[in-house]
Structure 1
Amino acid sequence: MLTLHTAELLVPGPGGAPLPGGAVLVEGDRIARVGPYDDLAAAFPHARTRRWPGVLTPGLRAPGADELLERTYYPDDPYEVPELGADPISGADALEALKMTEARWGNSARRGTQKLLARGVVAVCGRFTVASVRTAVSRSGLVILPPAASEGPPGLDPLAGRDTAGEAFHGLLEPGVAARFAVFAVADEGELLARGATTCVATVIGGRLLHRRR
């Protein structure tokens, strides 16, 4: 099936010229075309169209994901929130008190990957040593990359501490590449950097819509 994803502004990647009213045409798990929506809609009239508010960009890359998913616990909402609170829990003493098991780490990692997808993340950097966490990340659709010392500190928002939003992009939006991108409810890259990844409204990996803000 062909799907056209279009937004008010398309940013193809670091250094690429923003395209107002741009679109990506997705065929299967790949990007088939990139260009003005009107041109692509005319050339592929049978493609399904998804219109998004804001800016469509390459998906984001999250550094230190092993810290985020193997050394941070995400309470199960709503069941554990009254006792543990809603905030992620880290630190050796706090985690020891939780009596973590591999199964519990896997369940926490699934909740953590959902938080990352909800921030436009499509790739994570880290070396996972807990089997259930590694399985959860693989099943989420996120691309696993080797650790990168220059990526900055770990955090759920890959845009935090960046000089430009493009520094957090994973890949480019161009024909032939895997369809991994995100849409943010902002006007441009500057506003995206200022407001952060929680402005994400949609995340697509392998052509599949894995997050959509309700």
Structure 2
Amino acid sequence: MGAVIHSAPLVVPISRPPIRDGAVAVRHGRVLATGPRREITATHPDAEELRWPGVMVAGLVNAHTHLQFTRMAEVGRHPHGTFEDWSTAFDAVYAASRDTDWAASAREGACLALRHGTTAVADIVTDAEALPVLGECGLGGVAYFEVLGDTDATWTATGRDRLTGRVRDFGVLGLSPHSPYTLDTGVLGDLAVLGRAFGLRQHIHLLESLHEREYTVSGTGPIARLVRDLGFDFQILRDGGTGKGPVAFLDSVGLLGPECHVAHGVHLDHDERALLRERGVSVALCPRSNQALGLEGPPIAALLEEGGPIAVGTDSLASAPSLDLLEDVRLLRDLALRQGYRSPDLSRRLMEAATAGGAHALGLGSGPGRIGTLGPGSRCDFAVFAVDPAGHNPYDALVVDGPGRCVATVTANGRIHPATETPQDHP
């Protein structure tokens, strides 16, 4: 098959500055070249050209979601006063949803993500039947098989063998130890060992709740009560805590490293952010989900100023109103401005977080077939947004005007995923 050229009035490759009247040459799902349209068409005179309106940008990378919970949107439709309130509501609906076709639910979520410009995800999978969905739908990224609820005793008896069987049977690429408060201390440490032994990515929820620190430090507070009510007899509860905050605790059991990224980080303090940077751990920020749980949102201004690696996620429809990643990017921009961030690079850095930053978090930001950018050798994943291509700052246009305005998403398998609704005219 010969080359295909995708061109647009403005191309934002992320890996290089935006290109006016730009183009991308593609063969077999990989980018051959990116540059001015006149150069690309001259270099590939026999290629078919597809001309797109608006702004073409490297495919978005949703660095934290649970696609299988798409059919649990009823939980996300209602505001919750605290994380613990949401968790109780979620657990009740999940327990009543045992007959749900989780694979079908995940496929619905994948389609929604694609229609909003997302081409790769970090998908946490609780029920194994949803593990193959990414490949079936043409989404890139990593499916992380979730582990939660094991004490050290149940892990030794059955949990470890169950997990290694899932890894073998489904070709799992990632593990998701759910959180510091839903697994016993020895289980968390063993998952760190297993992950490195199998060469698996790791992804964990961290400091989403205000009370998580109290739990790991002293084994007390609302989360401790919630864990006890669920019947878990964890070491932290027996010992009266670890004396360490959640980040230091996870570091002590070996879970933090460049192969790991964390979700939320709403309550990270200065020292914890520094430790994550030192360990090379990215933070996937999900501000709309945080707001639905009664949380203020992450310290985005500090994360940007300190230079720690960040990414963006939507979480699931069980805690967010949509899977439109740019909605979260726009909210992060608003939060950063309210928190005092004044550098003119704000929109650019947030778009980088939603693309290359997500790719980095998933371990897919370099090498052949990399995602999150449009450069030679990368996957040809991109989205087109009906925003003004002639504006002074294309990153501002994407962040401020891009939500809800995706025209189409194109994935490396050559499929074109049109948006279900026609965006408004250019502003």
Same topology, TM > 0.5: yes
| Comparing 161-170 and 186-195, the one that deviates more | 161-170
Cα distance change of structure 1 residues 208 and 197 upon mapping to structure 2, 3 Å threshold = farther
The answer to whether the 8 A contact 1:120-1:197 is kept is: no
What are the superposed Cα offsets for residues 112-137 of structure 1, whole Å, 9 maximum, x if unpaired?
10000011111111332322221222
The answer to whether the 8 A contact 1:89-1:95 is kept is: no
Report the CA distance between 1:89 and its aligned residue: 2.9
> In structure 2, how many angstroms separate the alpha carbons of the residues matched to 1:197 and 1:118?
11
Listed as ranges, the gaps of 5+ residues in structure 2 are: 76-89, 143-200, 204-260, 263-282, 287-312, 315-322, 334-349, 357-371, 389-393, 421-427
- Name the larger-Rg structure: 2
- Matched with 2:405 is 199
- Matched with 1:13 is 14
Report the CA distance between 1:59 and its aligned residue: 0.6
Q: Residue 5 of structure 2 aligns to a residue in which SS?
A: strand
The answer to whether the 8 A contact 1:162-1:168 is kept is: no
Aligned residues: 196
> In structure 2, how many angstroms separate the alpha carbons of the residues matched to 1:89 and 1:48?
45
What are the superposed Cα offsets for residues 58-105 of structure 1, whole Å, 9 maximum, x if unpaired?
111113222xx233416xxxxxxxxxxxxx3332333444x3436x11
Larger fraction in helix? 2
- 1:135-146 map, 5 Å: 135-145=132-142, 146=201
Higher relative contact order (CA 8 A, sep 6+): 1
> In structure 1, how many angstroms separate the alpha carbons of the residues matched to 2:416 and 2:95?
33
The answer to whether the 8 A contact 1:55-1:183 is kept is: yes
Partner amino acid, structure 2, of 1:93:
A
- Matched with 1:65 is 65
Cα distance change of structure 1 residues 141 and 207 upon mapping to structure 2, 3 Å threshold = closer
> In structure 2, how many angstroms separate the alpha carbons of the residues matched to 1:39 and 1:174?
15
The answer to whether the 8 A contact 1:26-1:207 is kept is: no
> In structure 2, how many angstroms separate the alpha carbons of the residues matched to 1:132 and 1:110?
11
Report the CA distance between 1:34 and its aligned residue: 0.8
Report the CA distance between 1:207 and its aligned residue: 4.6
Overall identity of the aligned pairs, in %: 31
- How big is the alpha-carbon RMSD for the aligned residues of Structure 1 and Structure 2? 2.1
What are the superposed Cα offsets for residues 41-65 of structure 1, whole Å, 9 maximum, x if unpaired?
2222221111111111111111322
> In structure 1, how many angstroms separate the alpha carbons of the residues matched to 2:135 and 2:99?
19
Cα distance change of structure 1 residues 100 and 197 upon mapping to structure 2, 3 Å threshold = farther
Instruction: Give every structure 1 segment of 4 or more consecutive aligned residues whose post-TM-superposition deviation is greater than 3 Å.
Output: 94-97
| Comparing 27-36 and 132-141, the one that deviates more | 132-141
> In structure 2, how many angstroms separate the alpha carbons of the residues matched to 1:207 and 1:181?
12
Report the CA distance between 1:35 and its aligned residue: 1.0
Cα distance change of structure 1 residues 7 and 100 upon mapping to structure 2, 3 Å threshold = farther
Partner amino acid, structure 2, of 1:162:
L
The answer to whether the 8 A contact 1:122-1:181 is kept is: yes
